[in-house]
């Protein structure tokens, strides 16, 4: 049985979004209760979080770490499970009201489906789930009367602009992009960048995978596809503009030409809190934006010839079917290879484009087709040499 507090399952509690979500939850003990915490392999942090937040259940993805987590939490009344199947069953527990999906990558898809099937509302940080299977996820959410609240800062901005406007059609949205650490670089310079440079985002402190995606503009490409599904838009209704200060988080334009934007300092705790507490706005001590500290807010066109990933994402979205799933799997392998120094920065786009040409296209994929396409793409992407 649930009480007036929202009972949260936090998938990926040890990551950048997960740890910030726990800060939000800790500042509003009257609003939220932690029901589930999960990690991939950071057993130590998961144990510390469990000792502090006293969830009903924890899940450690890496099954080899089960004994360690179990022994540490044995004196407390906390159930411990391990592995992906456990993730999918714990999100269905009766006591959960909302699942915050803060794991990274394709691993988010299956537990999100399980949560929606159990009619849990979703606070969605894991954009890859909507990129891979946006049609399946949005239809499943509709069938189960489940709401998907965006956590991604740009999508939260659009969602906030839409409050009170749900009967007014959107003419277009404009997603802002910081441009990443390599804004203004040409291909010669990009060919020589290192992973240490790519991991230094100018405005946001995030996990490694999304930080590389931001540097390559793939993050914006994934966000274009995420926006298509969240707000039921066509490709020509979704624009991207580079805004290096990351103060305007995104904009909506309505059919009378009016534009609404949501602004603030770059701080993910705000969109996390908004998604968890919707429709309330809870008080916060997050640092406030002051116009006088930013006398210039600037905007420029993205350079999609140099940063090919954004165009590849539009191509995948326009093609439809399993193409965004192929794009996503190829990108996950490309980022891993780049972080392992196996390929250079520009070769990430070559690898993704090659996978999009070579992997079998499926126009109307089922869940099993997505699983198969993801595997097929990963095998090819791992084998490709540059
Ligand atoms: N960070 C940010 O500011 C933003 C992030 N997002 C999105 O949110 C999601 C999370 O990003 P972020 O927090 O940066 O990522 P992190 O890499 O910081 O954290 C990922 C979390 O997922 C867990 N995890 C990783 N792989 C698996 C797996 N196979 N099975 C189970 N758990 C796993 C990690 O566990 P462990 O620690 O044990 O490895 C960790 O808890 C991504 O989809 C990202 O695109 C969106 C907007 C902003
Ligand atoms: C904080 C957030 O939402 C990230 O997705 C952010 O948008 C990354 O910055 P880029 O605009 O550089 O991709
Ligand atoms: Mn974002």
pLDDT tens readout for residues 234-277: 999 999 999 999 999 999 999 999 999 999 999 999 999 999 99
Compute the distance from residue 291 Cα to the ligand 1 centre, in Å: 32
Rounded CA-CA distance 265/255 in Å is: 29
Ligand 1 lined by 17 (C-beta under 6 Å): yes
Q: What is the largest CA-CA distance in the chain?
A: 62
Compute the distance from residue 209 Cα to the ligand 1 centre, in Å: 8
Residues contributing to the annotated binding site: 14-17, 40, 42, 126-128, 152-154, 178, 201, 207, 214, 219-220, 223
Describe the crossing of helices 218-231 and 153-162 by its angle, rounded to 10 degrees: 30
pLDDT tens readout for residues 109-132: 999 999 999 999 999 999 999 999
Atom number of ligand 1 nearest to Cα 14: 41
Ligand 1, atom 24, lies closest to the CA of 40
Q: Which two tokens stand for residue 5?
A: 């507090």
- Per domain, the residue ranges of the chain are 6-150, 155-267+288-319
> How many other β-carbons are positioned within 10 Å of the β-carbon of residue 380?
18
CB 370 within 8 A of CB 132: yes
Atom number of ligand 1 nearest to Cα 128: 43
pLDDT of residue 3: 54
Ligand 2 lined by 66 (C-beta under 6 Å): no
Ligand 1, atom 14, lies closest to the CA of 207
The CATH number of 6-150 is 3.40.50.720
Q: Residue 247 CA: which ligand is closest?
A: 2
Compute the distance from residue 95 Cα to the ligand 3 centre, in Å: 30
Compute the distance from residue 296 Cα to the ligand 1 centre, in Å: 33
Ligand 2, atom 1, lies closest to the CA of 153
Ligand 1, atom 41, lies closest to the CA of 12
With CA atoms as reference, report the closest residue to 383 among 361, 375, 192, 369.
375
CB 96 within 8 A of CB 8: yes
Atom number of ligand 1 nearest to Cα 219: 45
Ligand 1 lined by 109 (C-beta under 6 Å): no
Q: Residue 245 CA: which ligand is closest?
A: 2
With CA atoms as reference, report the closest residue to 154 among 173, 138, 182, 169.
173
Compute the distance from residue 219 Cα to the ligand 2 centre, in Å: 7
Ligand 2 lined by 126 (C-beta under 6 Å): no
pLDDT of residue 4: 87
pLDDT of residue 194: 98
Q: Enumerate residues 6+ apart whose C-beta is below 8 A from 377.
A: 325, 326, 329, 330, 333, 355, 359
ipTM over 0.90: yes
Provide the terminal-to-terminal Cα distance of the chain, rounded to the nearest Å: 55
Instruction: Kindly provide the b/e burial profile for residues 171-181, where b requires at least 16 CB atoms within 10 angstroms of the residue's own CB.
Output: ebbbbbbbbbb
Which residues of the chain carry a pLDDT beneath 70?
A: 1-3
Atom number of ligand 1 nearest to Cα 41: 38
Atom number of ligand 2 nearest to Cα 180: 12
Q: Which two tokens stand for residue 125?
A: 């940080």
Instruction: Kindly provide the b/e burial profile for residues 241-273, where b requires at least 16 CB atoms within 10 angstroms of the residue's own CB.
Output: bbbbbbbbbbbbbbeeeeebbbebbbbbbbbbb
CB 8 within 8 A of CB 34: yes
Ligand 1, atom 1, lies closest to the CA of 206
Rounded CA-CA distance 62/67 in Å is: 11
CB 227 within 8 A of CB 158: yes
Compute the distance from residue 17 Cα to the ligand 1 centre, in Å: 7
Rounded CA-CA distance 17/24 in Å is: 10
Ligand 2 lined by 214 (C-beta under 6 Å): yes
Compute the distance from residue 152 Cα to the ligand 3 centre, in Å: 5
């Amino acid at each position: 049985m649930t009480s007036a507090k929202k009972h949260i399952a936090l998938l990926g509690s040890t990551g950048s979004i997960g740890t910030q979500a726990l800060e939000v939850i800790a500042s509003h003990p009257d609003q939220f209760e932690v029901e589930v915490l999960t990690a991939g392999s950071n057993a130590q942090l998961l144990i510390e979080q469990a000792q502090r937040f006293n969830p009903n259940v924890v899940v450690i993805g890496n099954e080899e770490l089960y004994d360690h987590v179990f022994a540490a939490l044995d004196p407390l009344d906390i159930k411990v499970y391990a592995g992906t199947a456990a993730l999918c069953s714990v999100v269905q527990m009766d006591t959960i009201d909302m699942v915050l999906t803060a794991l990274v990558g394709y691993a988010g898809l299956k537990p999100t489906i399980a949560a929606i099937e159990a009619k849990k509302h979703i606070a969605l940080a894991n954009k890859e789930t909507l990129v891979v299977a946006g049609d399946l996820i949005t239809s499943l959410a509709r069938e189960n009367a489940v709401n998907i609240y965006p956590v991604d800062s740009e999508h939260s901005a659009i969602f906030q602009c839409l409050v009170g406007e749900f009967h007014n059609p959107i003419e277009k949205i404009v997603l802002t992009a910081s441009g990443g650490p390599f804004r203004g670089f040409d291909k010669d310079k990009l060919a020589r960048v290192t992973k240490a440079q790519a991991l230094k985002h100018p405005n946001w402190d995030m996990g490694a995978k999304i930080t590389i995606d931001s540097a390559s503009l793939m993050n914006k490409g994934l966000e274009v596809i995420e926006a298509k599904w969240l707000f039921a838009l066509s490709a020509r209704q979704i624009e991207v503009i580079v805004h290096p200060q990351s103060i305007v988080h995104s904009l909506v334009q309505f059919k009378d030409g009016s534009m609404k934007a949501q602004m603030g300092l770059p701080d993910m705790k705000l969109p996390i809190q908004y998604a968890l507490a919707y429709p309330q706005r809870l008080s916060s001590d997050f640092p406030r934006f002051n116009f006088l500290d930013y006398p210039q807010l600037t905007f420029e066109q993205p350079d999609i010839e140099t940063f090919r990933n954004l165009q590849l994402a539009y191509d995948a979205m326009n093609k439809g079917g399993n193409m965004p799933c192929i794009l996503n799997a190829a990108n996950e392998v490309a980022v891993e290879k780049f972080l392992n120094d196996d390929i250079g920065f520009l070769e990430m786009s070559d690898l993704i484009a090659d996978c999009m040409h070579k992997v079998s296209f499926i126009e109307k994929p089922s869940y099993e087709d997505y699983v198969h396409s993801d595997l097929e793409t990963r095998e090819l992407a791992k084998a490709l040499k540059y």
